């Protein structure tokens, strides 16, 4: 990057020791100043490091005039440049990692699921025969484990693809959107859903992943025959704030950070079916879109607060 400044200003730059110390000694970028003859009159250590040690003392007085047309620049040039070699190397490594992740996602969705489905069918066929009661219980346990593994692979696939698939913003009515998700979840429950009505403009597919997982959590973990799930949403100039509140067993304070990690469940999987991936998926989605999620202190149940910025702050996948 180059910036031109008038001669008088450049003279002040060269003579100002405090500014020289600030710019030339305290930044990692390569900085230099040239005079009206395009000779380098000042350069910081980072800039000098680009040259062999034997040539560093000769930098002052050198010119790169051949690189510029005289009419295109003023008397002095302030130059800043950065060595991006390491960054580019990391980008290449990240691309390789993402390629490996995509390959894993393919394996998880095809190569691993195929034998699981075969096992499930085989168990179903055997279970249709007359078997001792103990054998039937064992086959039911196998079927449960296969179902759990299928769910885990499905959730891993979603997790691996969170920031690999863009979800475009759409305008829609939030209450209808949430009710449709609630009605589509195949979990027996007597929970009553109450949802605020608001027209929103958000990445609909990504929001569905978040909303579906939070509603599923509330349905699965509620400990009473009847209960309530309240979803509130408010709009500010900068963001949407969503509150998911239920009157279930709640989440102990000591687990409120840990539950957002992969494979974390509050109960053993034999007591409560689940992959332990739901909240990890939610957090990864929100991190990608520049949002946040936290669990508030409540006397009863659990309350999740989500902040989703209106500005698209997602990081483009490499």
Helix axes 113-127, 133-160, angle to 10 degrees: 160
* Angle, CA 188 vertex, CA 183 and CA 194 arms, to 5°: 45
Report pLDDT for 208.
93
pLDDT in tens, the chain (318 residues): 445 555 555 555 555 566 666 666 778 888 888 888 778 888 888 888 888 888 888 888 877 665 556 666 555 667 777 888 888 889 888 888 877 777 777 776 677 777 888 888 888 888 777 778 778 788 888 888 888 788 788 777 777 777 767 778 999 999 999 999 999 988 877 789 999 999 999 999 999 999 999 999 898 888 787 889 999 999 999 999 999 999 988 888 888 888 888 777 765 555 555 667 889 999 999 998 999 999 998 888 899 999 999 976 555 555
Residue pair 304/185 in contact (Cβ under 8 Å)? The answer is no
Report pLDDT for 318.
52
Report pLDDT for 132.
81
Report pLDDT for 242.
98
Q: How is the chain split into domains, by residue range?
A: 2-83, 88-160, 165-309
Report pLDDT for 11.
53
Report pLDDT for 171.
96
Q: Does domain 165-309 have CATH number 3.90.700.10?
A: no
**Closest by Cα among 157, 219, 162, 228 to 185:** 219
**Rounded distance, CA 263 to CA 69, Å?**
62
Residue pair 279/259 in contact (Cβ under 8 Å)? The answer is yes
**Closest by Cα among 276, 277, 275, 206 to 242:** 206
Reading the block at residue 85, the tokens are: 């070699």
**Rounded distance, CA 59 to CA 63, Å?**
9
DSSP string, 16-69: -HHHHIIIIIS-SSEEEEE-TT-BEEEE-HHHHTTS-GGGGGG-TT-B-GGGS-
**Rounded distance, CA 284 to CA 288, Å?**
6
């Amino acid at each position: 990057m180059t910036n031109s400044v008038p001669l008088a200003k450049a003279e002040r730059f060269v003579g100002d020791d405090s500014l020289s110390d600030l710019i030339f000694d305290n930044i990692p970028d390569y900085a230099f100043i040239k005079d009206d003859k395009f000779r380098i009159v000042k350069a910081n250590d980072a800039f000098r490091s680009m040259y062999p040690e034997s040539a560093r003392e000769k930098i002052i007085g050198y010119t790169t005039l051949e690189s510029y047309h005289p009419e295109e620049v003023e008397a002095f040039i302030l130059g800043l440049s950065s060595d991006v070699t390491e960054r580019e190397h990391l980008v290449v490594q990240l691309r390789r990692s993402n390629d490996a992740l995509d390959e894993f996602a393919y394996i998880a969705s095809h190569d691993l699921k195929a034998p699981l489905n075969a096992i499930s069918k085989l168990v179903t066929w055997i279970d249709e025969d007359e078997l001792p009661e103990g054998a039937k219980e064992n086959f039911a346990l196998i079927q449960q484990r296969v179902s759990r593994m299928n769910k885990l692979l499905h959730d891993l696939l979603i997790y691996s693809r969170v920031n690999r698939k863009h979800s475009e913003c759409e305008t829609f009515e939030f209450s209808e959107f949430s009710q449709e998700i609630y009605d589509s979840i195949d979990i027996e429950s007597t929970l009553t859903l109450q949802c605020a009505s608001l027209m929103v403009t958000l990445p609909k597919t990504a929001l569905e992943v978040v909303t579906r997982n939070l509603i599923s959590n509330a349905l699965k973990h509620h400990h009473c025959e009847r209960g309530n799930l309240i979803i509130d949403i408010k709009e500010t100039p900068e963001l949407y704030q969503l509150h998911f509140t239920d009157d279930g067993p709640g989440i102990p304070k000591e687990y409120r950070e840990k539950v957002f990690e992969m494979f974390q469940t509050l109960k053993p999987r034999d007591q409560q079916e689940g992959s332990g991936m739901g909240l990890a998926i939610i957090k990864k989605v929100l991190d990608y879109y520049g949002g946040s999620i936290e669990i508030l202190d409540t006397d009863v149940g659990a309350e999740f607060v989500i902040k989703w910025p209106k500005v698209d702050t997602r990081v483009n996948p490499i």
